[in-house]
Chains A and B, each alone.
Chain A
Amino acid sequence: MAADITKLGVKATWKDLTEGMIIAGAGTSKEFNTGEWSTDKPVFIEEKCKQCLLCTPVCPDSCIPVKDGKRGEFDYDHCKGCGICVKSCPFGAITMEGV
C-alpha cells in the first residue's frame, strides 16, 4: 500500500491513513502540510527588508525561500510559527500574528 501523504491533515479519516502508518517513498516531507499545526505565523514586511538574508538559515523548517539572492514570501504549508526568524531580523521586517 503506497502512502498518499497529500491526504494527511486534520480532516483525514481513518481510512485515509496507511496501514501501520508507514510512509512508502522518499522525500515525502515536502508533501506533508505541517503548517496547520501553528497557532502563530510570521508576517513578512517587504518594505522594511534589506535582504540581508539573516532569517533564511535560522528557519528550522526551511520556510524562507531565496531566489536570485532575495528572500520571498513564507512557505506557510510548512512553517510552524516558532518565531526564530522574528528574533533574527535586525530591521523589524518580520512580525508574528495569530492565526
Chain B
Amino acid sequence: MAKRDRLSGNEAIAIALRQINPDVFPAFPITPSTEIPQYFASFVANGQVDTEFIPVESEHSSMSAAIGASAAGARSLTATSSCGLAYMWEELYIAASNRLPLALALVNRALSGPININCDHSDSMGARDAGWIQVYAENNQEAYDNMVQAYRIAEHKDVRLPIMICQDGFITSHAVENMELLEDEEVKNFVGEYEPENYLLNPGCPMAVGPYSITDYYMEAKRNQAEGMKHVEKIVLEVAEEFAKLSGREYGLFEAYRLEDAEYAVVMIGSAAGTTKDAIDKLREQGEKVGLLKIRLYRPFPAETIAQALKGVKAVAVMDRAEGYTNHGGPLGADVMAALYRARSQALAVNYIYGLGGRDVRVEDMEGIFATLKQIAADGDAGETYRYLGIRE
C-alpha cells in the first residue's frame, strides 16, 4: 500500500536508503548532496537502520571505504556532488573494474570553475567513461524509484557493476514535491538480501581483490568488464517491469513523451524534461508534432533503441547540460548523433549547451527550440550544430 508524502529529492533518496537498510554508508558532505547523509545519520541515531555509518575526511575516502566494504561483502554506498565526485575519480574506475555493485547517490552540480553550487551535469558527465551504470531522474519521484531499483540492477549476477543514481542539484534535490512512497516492507522484499559470491570476510574462501594486471592481461581485463555492461539494458528493463507491478509506475531505458508521430524532437536528461513536456503540451494544442526523448539510462548508452525511437523525426535538438569543449557540442550530443549516424538517420541534428551552473530553462526557451527545429527542417540545413541556449551575446 503506497503512502503519499511531500518530500525533497534528497529526503526521498534518504528514505529509500532507510528502507533498503544498506550495510555500510561512508560519507563526506558537499552541497547539494549533504542532506542525504544528514537525514540518514538521523536514521542511524534513531536506530531505524543497522547501517555502519562512517563519517570520513574526504570523498576520496568515502568512495574508498565504500569499495572496501563492498569487497568485504557488504551492501555499501555513498553520496556526493560536483567536486566531491571529481575527488573520487580514481576510485570510480577501481569500483567498476573490481565489479563491485555499490551505489552512489549523486546530486548533479556544476564542477568548478568558476566555482558554482548549482545544477548542471558536468560532474557525472566527467565520470561517464568510468564503467559505472548511470541512471538519471526528472523529478523526486523518479529519484526515489531509481534508488529503490538500483541494487537489483547493480547486484545482478550478469551485471555486477557500480551504479550512479543521479538527480538535479537543488531543482529536485531541494524542491519539495508530492510523491508516493512504497511501504518499508515492500522495498525490503523488492531489494532482497545481498548475497555476494566471493567476498573478503568469507573465512571459507580467502581471496585477493584488485591484483596488478600487466600489459599481457590489461586489455583482456577491460574486455571482460565490458561484458557486464552489455547485460545492463536487459536487466534494467526486467527490474523496471517488476517494479511496475509493485508500484504501478513504469520505467524504461528512456521516456518517449508524445514522440510516436513527432517530427521535431528534443533529447535531454534530467529535470528540464518537465519544462519541455509543458512546452510540448502547449505546442501540441496548436497542432505541432513535437516530442521528447528523456534519457533515463545514460551508461550504458542504449544507442539502437534511441535511434529507433527517433526514426520518424525530421529535426532533433540534443540538449547537453555540460560542456564538452570539443568545439562540436557536449557528450550527449556526441552519443545521440553517433547513434543516429549508425542507424543511417536522415534527421537534421543540432546540439545545445544549456542550463550550466543552474541557469534556468523556461517553457518559452523550449518552445523556441522547437521553432528553430521547424525552421531547420524547412531549410533542409541544420546550420551551426554547436549552439548555446539563452546565452547573452
Interface residues of A (CB under 8 A from B): 1-2, 8-10, 12-17, 19-26, 28, 37
Contacts and interface: CB of A to CB of B under 8 A. Distances in A.
Given A10-B216, A17-B221, A20-B225, 8 more contacts: A2-B205, A14-B224, A14-B227, A17-B224, A20-B97, A21-B98, A21-B211, A22-B209
Interface string B155-199: 000001000000000000000000000000000000000000110
A12 B218 CA distance: 11
B99 A19 contact: yes
11 contacts: A1-B198, A14-B220, A14-B224, A15-B224, A17-B220, A21-B97, A22-B208, A24-B207, A25-B206, A25-B207, A28-B208
B223 interface: yes
B217 A17 contact: yes
For A2, A8, A21, the residue with the greatest tally of chain B CB atoms inside 10 Å of its CB is A21
Contacts of A22: 98-99, 198, 207-209
A3 to B, nearest CB: 8
Contact of B208 (A2, A10, A15, A23): A23
B207 A12 contact: no
Nearest to B220: A14
Query: Chain A: interface secondary structure?
Result: loop
Contacts of B225: 20
Nearest to B96: A20
A24 B198 contact: yes
Nearest to A32: B211
A19 B160 contact: yes
Nearest to B206: A26
Contact of A21 (B197, B213, B216): B213
A23 B97 CA distance: 14
A94 to B, nearest CB: 26
Interface in B256-305: none
B210 A25 contact: no
A20 B199 CA distance: 12
A72 to B, nearest CB: 29
B206 A8 contact: no
A12 B213 CA distance: 13
Contact of B98 (A2, A8, A13, A20): A20
Interface residues of B, number: 26
Contacts of A15: 224
The 9 closest A-B pairs by CB, nearest first: A20-B99, A14-B220, A14-B223, A26-B206, A23-B208, A24-B207, A20-B98, A24-B198, A14-B224
A8 B224 contact: no
Contacts of A1: 197-198
A6 B97 CA distance: 21
A26 B97 CA distance: 21
B96 to A, nearest CB: 9
Contacts of B209: 20, 22
Contacts of A26: 206-207
Interface in B65-111: 97-100
Given A1-B197, A1-B198, A10-B216, A21 B221 contact: yes
Contacts of B227: 14
A31 B99 CA distance: 24
A23 B217 contact: no
Contacts of A17: 217, 220-221, 224
A23 B213 CA distance: 12
A16 B220 CA distance: 9
Nearest to B215: A10
Contacts of B224: 14-15, 17, 19, 21
Given A1-B197, A10-B216, A23 B221 contact: no
A8 to B, nearest CB: 7
A21 B206 CA distance: 14
For A13, A15, A16, A20, the residue with the greatest tally of chain B CB atoms inside 10 Å of its CB is A20
For B97, B213, B216, B223, the residue with the greatest tally of chain A CB atoms inside 10 Å of its CB is B216
Interface string B111-152: 000000000000000000000000000000000000000000
A32 B319 CA distance: 50
Nearest to B227: A14
Contact of A8 (B160, B207, B217): B217
A22 B200 CA distance: 10
B205 A20 contact: no
B368 to A, nearest CB: 48
Nearest to B205: A24
